[in-house]
Amino acid sequence: MTLPDTHWIVGPGALGRMIGLRLATRPAPPIAVALIGRRLLPAEQTLVTPQGETLSVHVTTASLESLPAAPPAVVHLTTKAYAAEAAHAALAPHLPPGTPLVLWQNGFGCQPRLSRRHDGPVLCATTTEGAYLEDNLEDHLEDKETSDTRVVHAGKGETLIGALEEGYPENADTLADELATMLTAAGLPTRRVSDIRQRLWQKLAVNAAINPLVARFGIRNGQLRDRPFRPMVEEIIVEVAGILAAEGIAPPGLEGRGTTDSGHKSERLAGWLALVWRVVEGTAENRASMLQDVLAKRPTEHEAILGPLLAVARAHDLATPRLAELAGWLEARELAGSADTC
C-alpha cells in the first residue's frame, strides 16, 4: 500500500493542526493535508517548531458540512475523545470503503467502538508530543479565543501506532509502518507497536492520575508533588493500579509480569508510581489539557479517561472512592453547564 494523496486531519485542535502542519512542511516530499473542522480555518497556517523556527504553509481547509471533493488517502481523527464518534458519523457516508482511519484520542472509549464500526483499516495512535494554539499561552484562558492560524509544537516526544486487534485487518501492519515512516520523516518520531491497547491504557493511567486532580484544584502539574496533593495522587495511583491489574495491564517495562502474584503487585504499583511522577516532573510547568478545558469552560475528556477505569472497577467490585469523587465533580460541572463548581 502507498499513501501518496491527501491526509485529512479531522478535528484540527492543537494536536491535529501540529500533525497536519508537520506533514505539510515535511522535507521532500511534503504531504498534501486538509484541515477539516466544524468551522473553516484560514488556509495560511504557521507552525512554530520546538527549535523556535517559524514555518508558514498553505493547506486546504474545509468543514464537515463541505468536505473536499477528492477522497483522502488517510483520515486522522484528532478531535477530543467525546467528539470522535459524532465526527466519524458525519464523515463516514462520504468516505470510500477501505479508507484508512487513525484515531488519536486519549482514553479508551471510542477506539474499540470505531475500530468495529469503520469500513476500513483502523489504527490507534498515542503521543507524548506537546502542542498548543498560541493564544493558550495567556494566563487567563476564560473566554479566550484560541489561535486560528498559529500552532506551537512545544515538546518533542514519541508517537506509537498500531491496530487494536493484532494482525487485523491484514494490511494494518504495513499501513502502520508506512505511517510511522511518514510521521518520523515529518519530525514526529513514530514506532509501530503490536500492543497499542496496553499503550493506550498506560497513557490513560497517567492521565487519570494527573488530569482530574489538577482540573479539580486549578493547579499546574508540578504542584501535585506538594502537600496536600501528593497523598491524593498516591491514593489515586493505588486505585488505578488495582483496576489495571484486573484488566491485565501492567506499567511500561513490566508487561511480562503476572497480574495476580503479590510480589509482582508491589512491583507494578512501584512502576505506576514511578511513571506518573516521571511525567509530573517532565510536565511540571504545564497546565494539563483537562485543566485547560475547565478554565475555558469546555467539556472535559473525563468519560474517556475515568469512564473505562470505573467500568472495570464495577465489573470486578473494586472500591474507587477517589476516582468516583473526581468523576462526580467533573460530571456535575458539565451538568451545571460547565459552571465553576470548585
- Which residues make up the interface to ligand KPL (CB under 6 A)? 206-207, 210-211, 221, 279, 283, 286, 288-289
Minimum gap (Å) between residue 286 Cβ and ligand KPL:
5
For the chain, the residue count is: 342
Backbone angles phi, psi at 14, to 5 degrees: -60, -50
Minimum gap (Å) between residue 163 Cβ and ligand KPL:
23
How far apart, in whole angstroms, are the C-alpha atoms of residue 114 and residue 10? 15
Minimum gap (Å) between residue 306 Cβ and ligand KPL:
12
How far apart, in whole angstroms, are the C-alpha atoms of residue 312 and residue 96? 36
Nine-digit cell at 65? 458540512
Selection from 295, 18, 293 nearest residue 150 by Cα: 18
Backbone angles phi, psi at 326, to 5 degrees: -65, -40
Minimum gap (Å) between residue 200 Cβ and ligand KPL:
12
Selection from 42, 38, 39 nearest residue 90 by Cα: 38
Selection from 188, 202, 179 nearest residue 101 by Cα: 179
Backbone angles phi, psi at 332, to 5 degrees: -60, -40
Nine-digit cell at 319? 472500591
DSSP 66: B
Selection from 130, 117, 203, 121 nearest residue 160 by Cα: 203
For ligand KPL, the closer CB: 95 or 306: 306
For ligand KPL, the closer CB: 175 or 241: 241
Selection from 162, 165, 183 nearest residue 173 by Cα: 162
Please state whether 322 falls in left (phi above 0), alpha (psi between -120 and 50) or beta. alpha
SS3 call for 282: helix
For ligand KPL, the closer CB: 11 or 100: 11
How far apart, in whole angstroms, are the C-alpha atoms of residue 124 and residue 115? 9
For ligand KPL, the closer CB: 32 or 279: 279
Minimum gap (Å) between residue 207 Cβ and ligand KPL:
4
SS3 call for 55: strand
For ligand KPL, the closer CB: 117 or 298: 298
For ligand KPL, the closer CB: 7 or 17: 17
For ligand KPL, the closer CB: 45 or 286: 286
SS (H, E, C) 201-266: HHHHHHHHHHHHHHHHHCCCHHHHHCCCHHHHHHHHHHHHHHHHHHHCCCCCCCCCCCCCCHHHHH
For ligand KPL, the closer CB: 138 or 281: 281
For ligand KPL, the closer CB: 196 or 206: 206
Minimum gap (Å) between residue 249 Cβ and ligand KPL:
17
Minimum gap (Å) between residue 69 Cβ and ligand KPL:
35
Minimum gap (Å) between residue 307 Cβ and ligand KPL:
16
Minimum gap (Å) between residue 224 Cβ and ligand KPL:
10
